[in-house]
Amino acid sequence: MLDISLIRATSILGHSALCYDKYYFERSIRKTRIESDLQGGIEQNQLEFYYQIQVDHDRKPISAEALVRWNHPELGLLSPLEFIPIAEQSLLIVELGNHLLEMAFKQLLEWGQCDSTKHLTLSVNVTAKQYGMPDFISTITALLKKYPIDASKLTLELTESIQVADVGCVTQKMHYLKDNYQIKLSLDDFGTGYSSLVYLKTMPFDEIKIDQSFIVNIATSHKDAGLVKAIVALSKSYHFEVLAEGVETKAQFDYLREIGCHSFQGYLFSKPLPIDAFQALLNQ
């Protein structure tokens, strides 16, 4: 006699395997599509920035982070979490990163011509691969000639969770940018990588950004609150500015302000916005 339970289990497992295979097949097709279309997306200016405000102790806007989105003509608005890792698997990340740098320079030039925005600093991510390119400094120099901005209003963020292959080379280029152009340097997602203290010791950062994973429970967890307080104290000893990411509640904001955090970013103040909505936010 056939075991009905065994037949049922086999049927369920077979269905699960089919769904599993279908899911990963569709994901593979989508990944291939994104990879093949990204070059055209860069060339056809389908990428745009969403801007998230950064504020001081008094919640006054002082800067913004430029967060890229891709307006794919068929797939819709794509998050960088989907296409940036694909770009990082090839040198396309360098072309993409240089394109985003030019977008940031162009935006800063526009802001610098308006009294209500000329005080703002703009942060943009730069990958370790970009820093590692032999022409990275000349790329920055060419952009400064094309877009005569106040370079001190530009902040280049290096994501701490990304391993830097040649720390010495990157550090040398950072010093050149600071010494010659007064460009600011920030260590993003602090605490999520494996080389935090090495980076702090060797690289000439002006600012560290405490990752939002450390912020979310500071109002309810003594352990998390103590850890963030220690990070702020460490930063002070290195003379770094400290920005807290992912601030969503007044309780978080009040605690961070109390322990000496310098600036703040998160949904408590605004979500990332397209440029028109961002300008409207500044005008409120």
Cα 278 to Cα 240: distance, rounded to the nearest angstrom: 28
Q: Are residues 123 and 28 in the same domain?
A: no
CB 231 within 8 A of CB 221: no
33 and 84 assigned to the same domain:
no
CATH number at residue 79: 3.20.20.450
Encode burial over 34-49: b for 16+ CB neighbours within 10 A, e otherwise: beebbeebbeeebbeb
Kindly state whether residues 97 and 19 are assigned to the same domain.
no
Q: According to the model, what pLDDT value does residue 139 have?
A: 97
50 with 22, same domain: the answer is no
90/11 same-domain check: no
Which residues form the domain of 267?
45-283
DSSP code per residue over 120-153: -EEEEE--HHHHHSTTHHHHHHHHHHHS---GGG
The closest alpha carbon to 208, from 196, 219, 198, 217, belongs to: 196
Q: Are residues 177 and 263 in the same domain?
A: yes
Q: pLDDT tens digits, the chain, 284 residues: what are they?
A: 545 554 454 555 555 555 657 777 777 888 888 888 998 999 999 999 999 999 999 999 999 999 999 999 998 999 898 889 888 887 789 999 999 999 999 999 999 999 989 999 999 999 888 998 999 999 999 999 999 999 999 999 997 556 677 888 999 999 999 999 999 999 998 877 655 677 788 899 999 999 999 999 999 999 999 999 999 999 998 899 999 999 999 999 999 999 999 999 999 999 999 999 999 999 88
Q: What total of structural domains would you count in the chain?
A: 2
User: Which residues neighbour 44 within 8 Å (Cβ) at sequence distance 6 or greater?
Assistant: none
User: Does residue 108 sit in the same domain as residue 238?
Assistant: yes
Q: Same domain for 144 and 248?
A: yes
Same domain for 152 and 180: yes
Q: Are residues 182 and 269 in the same domain?
A: yes
Q: What is the pLDDT of residue 18?
A: 56
